[in-house]
Structure formats: structure tokens, C-alpha cells
């Protein structure tokens, strides 16, 4: 479709769904140029609105607000950003166990139920409203504009979340085409299907490619193995999401697709949170999120130091997420945005706590320590490492030409060199590695608790 027509269809769709997406986009285009101080004042105003909503409509939050002695300040709209730390944090178990005491079913526009499997496969049920939906969509459109991608221009999605896959009928396909979107199923990435995807991308000629970092990297690796030279002259950016983007993935994707790669940070429950800008920085959607970075004791760390991201979603009125422990490990930057925006800057998203491995002697390493071992061994098409205990690592392998006894020995020796000679390495050769319930292809999963070693892990 002609971009202006697709954009018009999208506007009509959002209006019909009572989502103020384009009004929010116009506001975001203005507010990103405010000073940092003005943006934080805006955050404080929206925080008060969120807490007032929680006090009136979410009994679970209301109890915590009163216990913290903040009810009067919330009623007066006088809560400051510093006051936020007086509230206790919440986690996925809190959200899972208290759904009915969290959700505001009377939120304007309605509350919509969503179930996410998450990386662990343990379901989380939560609710979001029209404002949250519009906020996420507007934030992504603004981020795309940083890369000169306008609403309505051709986009391709390598995606697989159930909410997108439960309506695969002709009407859904027609809607995608009308708004210039091509959706490729990240849940079905056999070699034959990936050949079809490469053909589809060549025919579609997208301006932007969007999908899970691991899925796009897998497609790029497949194209390179097939010696497929992609001709996508209009492609301006490849946007990856859902998981850490490792340096070798960035290099591979950029080389195969011939476009810059920009990573995105967020999740279904907390929403679209940050996006990489052309200057190389990841900019927070500061108008809709407050990010705290805490150590294992719950204390804030200094800019540049690593800790767990604890996020307050300012647009999450249907089911408030206030000081929500995400399990993501990141570092905030003290430097301002190089593009001149007043938005906060994330220096690094290091991964989830489960993306770190723990040696028998207590040393903590980023998943890359294991990934580099497997990448250096010939004969491996795909792999996944699962750490069950400090002295036990399961390694799933999809073999390629060159796999054999020497490769087996190299994997075992390399992992023992990193994690200790007592490590038991269980090698399982498979025809296919099944993705996570979320559709992502995780290279490393650890079931070993990190305790208070987050700083060491990030280092």
C-alpha cells in the first residue's frame, strides 16, 4: 500500500479501537525535547496519577500505599520521585497471586486479559488498557522515526507471541497488508520455512525489519549458510527485541541484511521501555516509565553500575506495575542523550539474571562466557546451554558438517575451562532446539541463583 494510505488505515483502526495512539505520538514528539528536569517533573505528575488510580481501584496497591504513609501525599498529588522508594517492590509472583486485587476492570476503554509464558514458561496473567496499548504503539513509532521510518511504510515482523498468532485468518492477513505489515511466524523456523521467509522479504522489500534478536540472527545465519545474498535496498534499520542483542548477533545481522541494527528493551507486562537511537545510545521512554537500578539488597546503585531494573509503568492504569522487579540486569548512564533529547539513557542491558552462569567456586559470568566457547567449536549449527547446578551443564546441539568426537571434546574442555574441571557436561544432539514458550531462542539459561553478585556478573 502507498504509505499515506496505510497510515490512514492505521489511524482509523486506532480510532475505532478508542486508542489515542496518534495523539500520544504527537505529544511524544514534543516532550522528548524537554530538558531532563522538565521530563522528570512530567514523570512526577504521571506518577501521582498512577498512584491515585492504584489507591482508588487496586486494593493490593492501596494497602501498600497506606502502609508506607503516602496516602495523604497521593491524595494531594504531592508524591515526588524520591518518595517512590518508600514503597516496597513487587515481583511476578505478586502480580500472579493478586490479579483480582490489582486489576481495575472499570478502566476507561476496558481491561484486557493477557497471558504470557515468559522465558521460564511459568505463566503470568495480567491486564492492560487502551492507554497502555496506545503508549506502547506511539513509543515505537517515535523510535522508528529516529531511524527515518514513518508510520505506514513497509515493515516485516519475525514474531511469534500467541496474541499475534491466534487470528491467522484472511481478515487478519488483509489487515496486515492494509497497514503495510508482513508477519512471519517465529514459531516455525525450519530450514524450508526460512527459505520461504527470505523469498518473502525479497518480494516485500521492507523499510524496517522487526523481531526477536535470536530469531533474526537465526534467519541471518541461515541466509549466510545458504549463500543467499539479500537485496533489500530500502531497508533502513533492523529492530531487535525481547532479549539481549549480543555483539556477534549484531555483526551478523548487519552484515547479512545490510542495514544498521537497533535493539529494543521491554516486556509484555511492563511495556515498551527503551530503544536504541542512531547515535548508539539506548533511550528510555521516560514519559511512560521510571527505571530504578537496585543492588541485591534493594539499594540504588550509582550511574554506570549494574543492578536489577525495577520499573514503574506510568501508563499501566488497568493493572498498575509499581516498582516492579523485572529480573533484567542493566546500567544507567550519567551522560545525556547525544541526539539532544532530554530522555534518560541506558548504558547497557546486560540480560536477565537467568542469563548469567555461576561456577562451582562462586564466580559469576555473563552468558557470553559460555556462548564464546560454543561459537568457537566447528560443526555446531545451533546450541542451547542449560545450567542446572554449578557443577552440571546441559548442552543441546544441532549438528552441522564437522561435528564429531573432536567437537564434543572441545565443547566439554572449553566449558570446564570456564566453569571448573568438576563440571559435568551433558551433551544432547538434537534435530531441532525448541524455542521458549515466548518464541525466543535463548542460548543460555541458568537455574542457579545469583544471590548478590550482580555487579560481578556484569563486569
Q: Does the structure show a pLDDT above 50 at 392?
A: yes
Residue 459's pLDDT is: 33
Q: Does the structure show a pLDDT above 90 at 251?
A: yes
Model confidence at 370, pLDDT cuts 50, 70, 90, reads confident
* Lowest mean pLDDT across 140-144, 242-246, 311-315, 374-378: 242-246
Residue 202's pLDDT is: 95
Q: Which residues pair with 392 in a beta bridge?
A: 389, 424
* Lowest mean pLDDT across 227-236, 316-325, 377-386, 436-445: 436-445
Neighbours of 38 (CB within 10 A): 12
Model confidence at 456, pLDDT cuts 50, 70, 90, reads very low
- Please provide the size of the chain in residues: 459
Model confidence at 355, pLDDT cuts 50, 70, 90, reads low
Q: What angle do CA 194, 200, 202 make, to 5 degrees?
A: 110
Cell of residue 224, nine digits: 549466510
Q: Report the run of H or E that residue 170 belongs to, with start and end.
A: helix 170-178
Q: Does the structure show a pLDDT above 80 at 364?
A: no
Model confidence at 118, pLDDT cuts 50, 70, 90, reads very low
Q: What angle do CA 72, 73, 75 make, to 5 degrees?
A: 65
b/e per residue 430-450 (b: at least 16 CB within 10 A): eeebebbbbbbbbbbbbebeb
Residue 458's pLDDT is: 32
Model confidence at 110, pLDDT cuts 50, 70, 90, reads very high
Rounded Cα distance between 34 and 27, Å, is 11
Percent of the chain with pLDDT over 90: 64
Q: Which fold has domain 368-442?
A: GMP Synthetase; Chain A, domain 3 (3.30.300)
- The domain limits of the chain are 368-442
Residue 354's pLDDT is: 54
Q: Does the structure show a pLDDT above 80 at 27?
A: yes
Residue 423's pLDDT is: 94
* Lowest mean pLDDT across 16-25, 186-195, 317-326, 382-391: 186-195
Q: Does the structure show a pLDDT above 80 at 425?
A: yes
Q: What is the mean pLDDT of the chain?
A: 88
Is the distance from CB of 297 to CB of 452 less than 8 angstroms?
A: yes
Place of cell 534467519: 219
| 287-315: pLDDT as tens digits | 999 999 999 889 999 999 999 999 999 99
Query: Widest CA span of the chain, in angstroms?
Result: 70
Rounded Cα distance between 98 and 101, Å, is 5
Residue 231's pLDDT is: 87
* Lowest mean pLDDT across 59-68, 192-201, 421-430, 449-458: 449-458
| 130-185: pLDDT as tens digits | 999 999 999 999 999 999 999 999 999 988 644 444 445 566 677 787 899 998 88
Residue 170's pLDDT is: 62
378 or 439, which is more confident? 378
Rounded Cα distance between 116 and 437, Å, is 8
In the predicted model, what is the mean pLDDT of residues 102-129?
A: 79
In the predicted model, what is the mean pLDDT of residues 89-95?
A: 92
pTM, rounded to two decimals? 0.79
| 192-210: pLDDT as tens digits | 888 999 999 999 999 999 9
Amino acid at each position: 500500500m502507498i504509505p499515506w494510505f496505510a497510515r490512514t488505515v492505521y489511524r482509523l483502526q486506532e480510532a475505532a479501537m478508542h486508542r489515542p495512539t496518534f495523539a500520544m505520538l504527537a505529544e511524544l514528539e514534543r516532550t522528548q525535547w524537554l530538558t531532563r528536569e522538565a521530563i522528570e517533573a512530567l514523570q512526577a505528575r504521571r506518577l501521582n496519577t498512577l498512584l491515585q488510580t492504584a489507591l482508588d481501584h487496586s486494593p493490593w496497591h492501596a494497602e501498600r500505599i497506606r502502609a508506607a504513609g503516602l496516602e495523604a501525599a497521593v491524595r494531594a498529588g504531592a508524591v515526588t520521585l524520591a518518595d517512590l522508594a518508600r514503597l516496597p517492590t513487587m515481583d511476578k509472583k505478586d502480580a500472579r497471586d493478586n490479579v483480582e486485587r490489582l486489576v481495575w476492570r472499570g478502566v476507561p476503554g476496558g481491561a484486557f486479559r493477557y497471558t504470557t509464558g515468559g522465558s521460564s514458561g511459568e505463566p503470568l496473567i495480567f491486564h492492560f488498557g487502551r492507554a497502555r496499548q496506545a503508549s506502547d504503539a506511539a513509543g515505537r513509532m517515535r523510535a522508528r522515526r529516529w531511524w527515518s521510518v514513518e508510520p505506514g511504510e513497509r515493515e516485516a515482523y519475525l514474531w511469534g507471541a500467541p496474541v499475534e498468532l491466534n487470528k491467522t485468518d484472511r481478515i487478519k492477513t488483509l489487515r496486515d497488508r492494509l497497514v503495510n505489515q508482513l508477519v512471519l511466524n517465529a514459531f516455525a523456523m525450519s530450514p524450508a520455512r526460512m527459505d520461504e521467509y527470505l523469498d518473502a522479504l525479497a518480494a516485500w522489500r521492507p523499510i524496517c525489519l522487526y523481531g526477536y534478536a535470536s530469531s533474526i540472527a537465526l534467519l541471518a545465519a541461515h541466509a549466510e549458510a545458504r549463500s543467499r545474498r539479500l537485496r533489500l535496498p530500502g531497508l533502513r534499520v533492523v529492530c531487535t527485541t525481547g532479549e539481549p542483542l549480543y555483539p556477534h548477533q549484531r555483526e551478523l545481522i548487519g552484515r547479512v541484511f545490510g542495514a544498521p541494527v537497533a535493539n529494543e528493551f521491554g516486556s509484555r507486562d511492563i511495556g515498551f521501555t527503551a530503544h536504541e537511537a542512531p547515535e548508539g545510545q539506548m533511550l528510555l521512554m521516560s514519559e511512560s516509565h521510571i527505571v530504578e537500578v537496585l543492588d541485591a539488597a534493594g539499594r540504588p546503585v550509582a550511574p554506570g553500575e549494574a543492578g536489577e531494573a525495577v520499573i514503574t509503568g506510568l501508563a499501566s492504569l488497568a493493572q498498575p506495575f509499581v516498582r516492579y522487579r523485572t529480573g533484567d540486569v542493566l546500567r544507567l548512564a550519567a551522560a545525556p542523550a547525544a541526539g539532544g533529547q532530554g530522555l534518560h539513557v541506558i548504558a547497557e542491558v546486560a540480560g536477565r539474571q537467568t542469563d548469567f552462569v555461576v561456577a562451582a567456586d562462586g564466580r559469576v559470568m555473563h552468558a557470553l562466557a559460555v556462548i564464546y566457547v560454543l561459537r568457537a567449536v566447528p560443526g555446531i549449527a545451533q546450541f542451547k546451554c542449560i545450567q542446572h547446578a554449578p557443577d552440571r551443564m546441559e548442552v543441546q546441539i544441532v549438528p552441522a558438517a564437522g561435528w564429531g568426537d573432536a567437537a564434543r571434546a572441545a565443547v566439554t574442555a572449553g566449558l570446564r575451562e570456564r566453569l571448573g574441571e568438576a563440571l559435568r557436561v551433558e551433551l544432547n544432539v538434537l534435530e531441532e532446539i525448541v524455542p521458549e514458550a515466548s518464541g525466543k531462542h535463548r542460548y543460555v539459561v541458568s537455574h542457579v541463583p545469583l544471590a548478590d553478585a550482580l555487579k560481578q556478573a556484569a563486569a
